């Protein structure tokens, strides 16, 4: 006989598909374990993909409740320095946060816990406290980058020492991090990226735990340092519950790339994608064309040229050269717009993944055992690339630097793609990662036990 009521959990993601997809996954993982789940989404969204996917997700999963938080329009001056629209949205959501308390307190059944994105922690924690709700952070980055964020208030409290640390910086629990791998914005305490990380990191001690798209086997050393040795005393427990389970929602539109993949030999195709909010410059597109054409592997290229999808309106023929399109006819497909990446990575024809190393992409590759060629573009991606390299899940060419800092030549790309697609050691290691990822989430596996414990701890007694 049950002695406790199912918990009612509010999930509150921030902006961008990389911050939304993990919440869809988590919502279904909680619902499957008999939790009542309410998803809170901010409106309007930055990208079309976010609003489309929220509607699709709710339509296909009617058991998930929904609350909309209407944002007050931004007062940013038209002539001020342009700011990443996704970072601005984090800030905008925080400014409308006073609307959240009444939405939460009027709910029936009442909420038992609030799970929020790291970027929203500082502003939501006082609301959770007023309502006596335990608050958990859901982090969308790697454990390594999270520990850097948690330590950022310490690093930036001594700016001279931090800026002068010319080679590497030491974060407790992690191997030394090269300064060149840190997001450059972190060296500017007035940058919105840094000020937001500082304020949210300072709120971390108030959270019950940090749910992470990570798994024990993959992150054994850093998890042991952070959880057992408590090397960053202010950090609440890190709760590895990944890889977050994938879900399937039938998509509208022409999925020509799937039928193309059906006709390709096993592990013969390299998939190229830089996530949902990284556009590639024209000069870099030209070099990637050369690299792909000369590497002579089949390819599936998810091509984006702008940060926000609504701005990405050009046709393939306006972006790619005739020579490339003619020279590679039948050897590859170009995707414009949203594609189901988890489904692509699951296809047996895929043999390698050229990725910016957004953390969701890394865990999706780990889940499928697809080797990665890391090509970090900005933000947390160099530190994520290092994790990929250290785990043996892929290759990383450090000389390629950040996306904005240099144009990588076609010959270099060609050489690394050939290496990626032919490196038997990486393929074998990727298969091992896949096997361990699956063990972690099966019933009684490390990640399954962690999520069940979290649910039990927020369970309401009768």
Judged by DSSP in three states, 260 sits in: helix
The answer to whether the beta carbons of residues 439 and 445 sit under 8 Å apart is yes
The minimum distance between CB 6 and ligand UDP, in angstroms, equals 28
The minimum distance between CB 343 and ligand UDP, in angstroms, equals 8
Q: Which of 50, 216, 287, 380 is close enough to bind ligand UDP by CB under 6 A?
A: 380
Write out the binding residues for ligand UDP, residues 1-40 only, by CB under 6 A: 16-18, 21
Structure tokens at 248: 């399937």
The minimum distance between CB 107 and ligand UDP, in angstroms, equals 26
Q: Which of 169, 197, 391, 421 is close enough to bind ligand UDP by CB under 6 A?
A: 197
CA-closest candidate to residue 199, choices 89, 126, 127, 118: 118
Residue from 117, 219, 309, 356 carrying the catalytic annotation: 117
Write out the binding residues for ligand UDP, residues 61-120 only, by CB under 6 A: 87, 90, 118-119
- Identify which of residues 227 and 276 has a Cβ nearer to ligand UDP in the complex: 276
Phi, psi (rounded to 5 degrees) for 245: -70, 135
60: annotated active-site residue: no
Q: Which of 173, 358, 369, 376 is close enough to bind ligand UDP by CB under 6 A?
A: 358
Judged by DSSP in three states, 136 sits in: strand
> Could you tell me which stretch among 103-111, 248-256, 287-295, 340-348 binds ligand UDP (CB under 6 A)?
340-348
The minimum distance between CB 110 and ligand UDP, in angstroms, equals 29
- Whether the ω angle into residue 44 lies within 30 degrees of 0, i.e. cis, is yes
According to DSSP, the β-strands at 177-178 and 168-169 are antiparallel
The minimum distance between CB 401 and ligand UDP, in angstroms, equals 16
Quote the CA–CA distance of 357 and 380 in Å, as a whole number: 8
CA distances from 207 to 73, 195, 197, 233, 337 (A): 29, 19, 15, 13, 37
Residue 338 interacting with ligand UDP (CB under 6 A): yes
Q: Which of 41, 112, 361, 368 is close enough to bind ligand UDP by CB under 6 A?
A: 361
Residue 220: CB atoms within 10 A of its CB come to 12
Residue 276 interacting with ligand UDP (CB under 6 A): yes
Quote the CA–CA distance of 157 and 141 in Å, as a whole number: 23
> Could you tell me which stretch among 163-171, 194-202, 315-323, 409-417 binds ligand UDP (CB under 6 A)?
194-202
The answer to whether the beta carbons of residues 111 and 132 sit under 8 Å apart is no
Say which DSSP state 167 is in.
S
Residue 415: CB atoms within 10 A of its CB come to 15
The minimum distance between CB 19 and ligand UDP, in angstroms, equals 6
| Residue whose pair of structure tokens reads 């042991």 in the numeric block | 224
Q: Which of 61, 107, 342, 452 is close enough to bind ligand UDP by CB under 6 A?
A: 342
Q: Which of 53, 219, 277, 386 is close enough to bind ligand UDP by CB under 6 A?
A: 277
252: annotated active-site residue: no
Residue 314: CB atoms within 10 A of its CB come to 12
Quote the CA–CA distance of 126 and 203 in Å, as a whole number: 10
Residue from 8, 19, 53, 378 carrying the catalytic annotation: 19
Q: Which of 123, 302, 328, 447 is close enough to bind ligand UDP by CB under 6 A?
A: 302
Residue 353 interacting with ligand UDP (CB under 6 A): no
CA-closest candidate to residue 75, choices 63, 61, 92: 92
- Structural element, H or E, at residue 132: none
- Identify which of residues 314 and 411 has a Cβ nearer to ligand UDP in the complex: 314
Residue 452 interacting with ligand UDP (CB under 6 A): no
Q: Which of 181, 196, 213, 328 is close enough to bind ligand UDP by CB under 6 A?
A: 196
The minimum distance between CB 3 and ligand UDP, in angstroms, equals 37
- Whether the ω angle into residue 109 lies within 30 degrees of 0, i.e. cis, is yes
Contacting positions for ligand UDP (CB under 6 A)? 16-18, 21, 87, 90, 118-119, 140-141, 192-193, 196-197, 200, 273, 275-278, 302, 338-342, 358-361, 364, 379-380
């Amino acid at each position: 006989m049950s002695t406790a009521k199912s918990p009612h959990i509010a999930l509150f993601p921030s902006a961008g598909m990389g911050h939304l997809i993990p919440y869809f996954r988590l919502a279904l993982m909680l619902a499957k374990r008999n939790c009542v789940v309410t998803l809170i989404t901010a409106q309007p969204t930055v990208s079309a993909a976010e609003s489309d996917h929220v509607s699709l997700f709710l339509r296909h999963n009617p058991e998930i409740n929904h609350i909309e938080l209407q944002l007050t329009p931004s007062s940013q001056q038209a002539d001020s320095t342009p700011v990443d629209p996704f970072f601005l949205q984090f800030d905008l959501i925080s400014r409308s946060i006073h609307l959240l308390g009444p939405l939460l307190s009027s709910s029936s059944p009442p909420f038992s816990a609030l799970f929020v994105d790291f970027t929203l922690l500082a502003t939501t924690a006082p609301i959770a406290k007023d309502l006596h709700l335990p608050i958990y952070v859901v982090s969308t980055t790697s454990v390594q980058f999270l520990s850097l964020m948690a330590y950022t208030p310490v690093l930036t409290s001594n700016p001279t020492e931090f800026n002068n640390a010319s080679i590497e910086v030491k974060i407790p629990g992690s191997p030394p991090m090269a300064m060149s791998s840190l997001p450059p914005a972190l060296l500017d305490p007035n940058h919105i990226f840094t000020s937001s990380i500082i304020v949210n990191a300072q709120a971390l001690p108030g959270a019950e735990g940090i749910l992470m798209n990570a798994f024990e086997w993959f992150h054994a050393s850093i998890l042991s340092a952070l959880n057992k040795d408590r090397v960053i005393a202010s950090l609440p427990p890190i709760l590895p519950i990944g890889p977050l389970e994938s879900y399937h929602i039938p998509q509208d539109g022409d999925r020509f790339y799937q039928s193309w993949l059906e006709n390709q030999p096993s592990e013969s195709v390299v998939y190229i994608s830089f996530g949902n909010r990284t556009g590639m410059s024209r000069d870099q597109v030209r070099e990637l064309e050369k690299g792909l054409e000369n590497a002579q592997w089949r390819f599936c290229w998810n091509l984006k040229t702008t940060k926000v999808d609504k701005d990405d309106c050009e046709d393939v023929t306006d972006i790619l050269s005739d020579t490339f399109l003619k020279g590679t006819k039948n050897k590859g497909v170009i995707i414009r717009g949203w594609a189901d990446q988890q489904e692509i990575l699951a296809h047996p024809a895929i043999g390698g993944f050229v990725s910016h190393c957004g953390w969701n992409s890394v865990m999706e590759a780990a889940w499928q055992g697809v080797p990665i060629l890391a090509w970090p573009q900005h933000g947390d991606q160099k530190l994520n690339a290092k994790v990929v390299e250290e785990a043996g899940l892929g290759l990383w060419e450090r000389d390629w630097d950040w996306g904005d800092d240099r144009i990588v030549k076609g010959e270099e790309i060609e050489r690394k793609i050939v290496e990626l697609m032919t490196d038997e050691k990486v393929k074998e290691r990727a298969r091992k990662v896949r096997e361990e990822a699956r063990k972690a989430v099966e019933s009684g596996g490390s990640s399954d036990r962690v999520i069940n414990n979290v649910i039990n701890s927020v369970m309401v007694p009768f």
